[in-house]
């Protein structure tokens, strides 16, 4: 552990000696930096970067409250302990209110070392809390990425099947052109079809790659209509393969929401994938009732503007006995090869981070509706 650097703002050499003697008697090792006025104090904070500041309350050309204000501006995390002889109860309350770590009277210096050790303990606890928060954030990010990879697995399989069709068409068209047996007009028409099929593949792949990339974007206003349109584009191939009809009830002029677009896409795609599984469970083959509906509308909640996105499927529903568990991490009713149980727990975490709500209602073998509520811009 490094030796701590203590900055002493004190105009009395006798008092300074008593303070430092008390610290030495308490077994505290430190590097002392002594200043007596404002200029020296400012220079020491900038140049010396002290770990602790000990300050008198009253000085001839400076005062402790001003020193505390400067410290809170220049080095807000550095503990600041008042050591003073002119320190009444009112002054003590005022300094603590302004952010002082502690105060010790000069005629009770025996309390100085305990005050210092208490401050060191608080710093260590703060650092431990920050480390725990960082570890929690990293675990949450890993879970989000794992869930995204899982969602991509479902989507990529369907997309690979869908991409195969335009690729085979492009190959057939190219073979026709290579024979050199057609006139220029027909060749141009075929070239135009090749271009269309190529662009179709490009859109599919770009949408999937945009969703797949590790997102570190900040919150920004996003059109709900555009958000749902992108979601449909990415999920379209899996819906087609399962022969599911997707109906949209979304107006282009809906309010925007402040969000990280990729994360909300992840939530919506997870809800759609779950809906597809529920529909395939209820209707293994084609059925006219094999449908999903995505709708969005403005809401007024608590005097504030929100947007509610509803993802509904007419599938197998969620049994009442497991309804309370579906947002739990790793909870799943699917087989081991169908899902990890991360989807809804990760989705809930994302929505909470956005200041929103994720809820549902369901009736067994009738429907499931998930409600995603996000604050409007």
Separation CA 124–CA 118 (nearest Å): 10
CA dihedral 137, 138, 139, 144 (to 10 degrees): 90
pLDDT number for residue 172:
72
Q: Where in the chain is the domain with CATH 3.40.50.2300?
A: 4-107
pLDDT number for residue 336:
43
243-283 pLDDT tens trace? 999 999 998 889 999 998 888 888 898 899 889 999 999 99
Separation CA 219–CA 261 (nearest Å): 8
The list of the chain residues with pLDDT below 70 reads 1, 86-89, 143-165, 181, 200, 203-217, 329-343
76-107 pLDDT tens trace? 999 999 998 866 667 778 888 889 999 999 98
**120 token code pair:** 């060191």
Separation CA 217–CA 215 (nearest Å): 6
Q: Within 13 A of 185's CA, how many CA atoms are on the CB side?
A: 0
Tokens 């997309």: give the residue: 159
pLDDT number for residue 341:
44
Q: 356 near 337, Cβ under 8 Å?
A: no
pLDDT number for residue 339:
47
pTM of the model: 0.53
Class of domain 4-107: alpha beta
Q: Where in the chain is the domain with CATH 3.30.565.10?
A: 215-376
Tokens 């703002």: give the residue: 9
pLDDT number for residue 187:
77
Pick the CATH number of 215-376 from 3.30.565.10, 3.30.160.270, 3.90.1150.10, 3.20.20.70: 3.30.565.10
At a CB cut-off of 8 Å and minimum separation 6, what does 123 contact?
79
Task: List phi, psi (to 5°) of 257.
Answer: -120, 150
């Amino acid at each position: 552990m490094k030796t701590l650097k203590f900055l002493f703002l004190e105009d009395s050499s006798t008092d300074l000696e008593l303070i430092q003697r008390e610290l030495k008697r308490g077994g505290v090792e430190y590097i002392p930096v002594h200043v007596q006025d404002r200029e020296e104090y400012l220079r020491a904070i900038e140049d010396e970067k002290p770990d602790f500041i000990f300050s008198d309350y009253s000085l001839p050309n400076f005062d402790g409250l001003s020193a505390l204000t400067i410290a809170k501006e220049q080095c807000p995390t550095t503990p600041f302990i008042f050591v003073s002889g002119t320190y009444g109860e009112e002054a003590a309350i005022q300094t603590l209110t302004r952010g002082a770590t502690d105060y010790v009277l000069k005629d009770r210096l025996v309390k100085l070392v305990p005050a210092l050790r208490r401050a060191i303990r608080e710093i260590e606890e703060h650092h431990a809390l920050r480390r725990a928060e960082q570890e929690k954030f990293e675990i949450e990010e890993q879970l989000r990425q794992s869930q995204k990879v899982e969602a991509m697995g479902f989507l990529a399989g369907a997309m690979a099947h869908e991409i195969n069709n335009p690729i085979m068409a492009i190959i057939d068209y190219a073979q026709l052109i290579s024979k050199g047996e057609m006139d220029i007009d027909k060749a141009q028409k075929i070239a135009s079809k090749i271009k269309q099929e190529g662009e179709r593949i490009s859109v599919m792949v770009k949408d999937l790659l945009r969703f797949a990339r590790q997102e570190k974007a900040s919150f920004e206003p996003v059109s709900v209509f555009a958000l749902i349109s992108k979601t449909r584009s990415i999920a379209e191939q899996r819906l087609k393969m399962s022969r599911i009809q997707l109906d949209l009830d979304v107006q282009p002029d809906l309010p925007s929401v402040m969000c990280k677009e990729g994360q909300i896409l992840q939530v919506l795609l997870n809800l759609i994938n779950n809906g597809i599984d529920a529909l395939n469970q209820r209707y293994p083959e084609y059925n006219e009732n094999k449908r999903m509906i995505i709708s969005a509308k403005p809401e007024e909640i608590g005097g504030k503007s929100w947007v509610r996105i509803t993802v509904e499927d007419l599938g197998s529903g969620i049994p009442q006995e497991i309804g309370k568990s579906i947002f739990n991490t790793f909870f799943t009713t699917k087989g081991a090869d169908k899902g990890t149980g991360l989807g809804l727990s990760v989705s809930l975490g994302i929505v909470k981070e956005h200041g929103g709500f994720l809820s549902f209602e369901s009736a067994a073998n009738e429907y499931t509706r998930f409600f995603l509520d996000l604050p409007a811009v």
